[in-house]
């Protein structure tokens, strides 16, 4: 009887209880890509849910998340304010005429985007401070000033680094040379502006295929002798469907071979 009660009370590390709550379902871009309860990111109350997962690649900590929806942009910027200062975006706003990510940031220098989180009584402004193109990777590098005001407290400002790489087709692979350049530039920017323990936020549309592949690529870059299937398995236990397609898995295998060949 005691064994039965213990088994009944067991909570699976792969449960999605929070993601499936009535108030949270609408915050998920895709109904089958959900964060596990055990390692989901928690926001300040009144509602702590966001479709985002803390991922440990073995070399660094990440936050893997979906591309924000129009109704979750407030939550996304609260996530950034609370947990990170570097964003890697691996998708376009639209792809093949389908929406993939809300327009959650200003694209040009001196432009601003404003929002109000009424549930948390927070007003925020994101202003584009600088913009450049990294020649080797083709990524657009932006710096944002995130201004956050709450009640009568003084305005708080946090600088955010944003790396946007949008030439990677969904469910497909891209060039190894560009990806290596992208990884090197991302790590260079992050390590210059944040502590090594601060997680980077990375997202595509669903936050699993390209996102998981990018995290795996970076892990291989720092530890090239890792077994690729084991690495993918480890990531999928933290974010569902990480490395979503055969093309992405093959890309990891080719990347590992390139690293070992020198």
What CATH number does the domain containing 83 carry?
A: 3.90.190.10
Categorize the per-residue pLDDT at 8 as very low, low, confident or very high, splitting at 50, 70 and 90. Answer: very low
Q: Does a structural domain hold residue 28?
A: no
pLDDT in tens, 113-140: 999 999 999 999 999 999 999 999 999 9
Structure confidence at residue 5 (pLDDT): 47
Q: Does a structural domain hold residue 252?
A: no
Q: Is the pTM of this model over 0.85?
A: yes
pLDDT in tens, 153-199: 889 999 999 999 999 888 777 889 999 999 999 999 999 999 878 99
Structure confidence at residue 197 (pLDDT): 87
Q: Which domain does 122 fall in, by range?
A: 41-206
SS3 annotation, 6-45: HHHCCCCCCCCCCCCCHHHHCCCCCCCCCCCHHHEEECCC
Share above pLDDT 90 across residues of the chain, in percent, rounded to a whole number: 85
Hey, how many other C-beta atoms are within 10 angstroms of the C-beta on 104? 22
Cβ atoms of 189 and 163 closer than 8 Å: yes
Structure confidence at residue 7 (pLDDT): 47
Q: Does a structural domain hold residue 163?
A: yes
Give catalytic residues, as residue numbers: 204
Q: Does a structural domain hold residue 193?
A: yes
Ranges 6-10, 46-50, 68-72: which has the least confidence: 6-10
pLDDT at 209 over 70: yes
Pairing relation of β-strands 122-133 and 86-89?
unpaired
Helix (H, G, I), strand (E, B) or coil at 115: strand
Comparison of pLDDT for 171 and 232, the residue scoring more? 232
Structure confidence at residue 113 (pLDDT): 98
pLDDT at 102 over 80: yes
pLDDT at 1 over 60: no
The pLDDT of 149-153, averaged and rounded, is 86
Q: Does a structural domain hold residue 65?
A: yes
Structure confidence at residue 4 (pLDDT): 39
Structure confidence at residue 151 (pLDDT): 82
Comparison of pLDDT for 11 and 133, the residue scoring more? 133
Mean pLDDT score of the chain: 93
Q: Does a structural domain hold residue 253?
A: no
Q: How many domains does the chain have?
A: 1
Structure confidence at residue 174 (pLDDT): 82
Sheet holding 200-203, edge to edge: 40-42, 49-56, 61-65, 200-203, 86-89, 156-164, 140-150, 122-133, 112-117
Q: Does a structural domain hold residue 249?
A: no
Q: Does a structural domain hold residue 7?
A: no
pLDDT at 68 over 80: yes
pLDDT at 87 over 90: yes
pLDDT in tens, 238-259: 999 999 999 999 999 999 999 9
């Amino acid at each position: 009887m005691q064994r039965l009660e213990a088994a009944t009370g067991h909570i699976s590390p792969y449960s999605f209880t929070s993601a499936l709550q009535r108030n949270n379902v609408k915050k998920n871009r895709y109904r089958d890509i959900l964060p596990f309860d055990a390692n989901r990111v928690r926001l300040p109350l009144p509602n702590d849910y966001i479709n985002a997962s803390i991922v440990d690649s073995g070399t660094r900590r990440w936050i893997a998340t979906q591309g924000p929806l129009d109704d979750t942009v407030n939550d996304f910027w609260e996530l950034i304010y609370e947990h990170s200062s570097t964003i890697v975006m691996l998708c376009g706003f639209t792809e093949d005429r389908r929406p993939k990510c809300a327009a959650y940031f200003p694209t040009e220098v001196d432009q601003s985007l404003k929002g109000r989180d009424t549930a948390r009584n927070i007003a925020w402004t994101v202003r584009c401070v600088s913009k450049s193109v990294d020649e080797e990777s083709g990524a657009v590098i932006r710096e944002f000033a995130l201004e956050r005001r709450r009640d009568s407290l003084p305005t708080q400002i946090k600088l955010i680094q944003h790396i946007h790489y949008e030439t990677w087709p969904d469910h497909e692979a891209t060039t190894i040379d560009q990806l290596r350049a992208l990884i090197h530039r991302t790590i260079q920017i992050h390590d210059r502006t944040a502590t090594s323990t601060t997680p980077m936020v990375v997202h595509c549309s669903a936050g699993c295929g390209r996102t998981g592949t990018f995290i795996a690529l970076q892990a291989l870059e720092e530890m090239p002798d890792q077994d690729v299937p084991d690495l993918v398995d480890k990531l999928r236990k933290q974010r569902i469907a990480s490395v979503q397609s055969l093309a992405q898995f093959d890309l990891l295998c080719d990347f590992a071979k390139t690293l070992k060949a020198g």
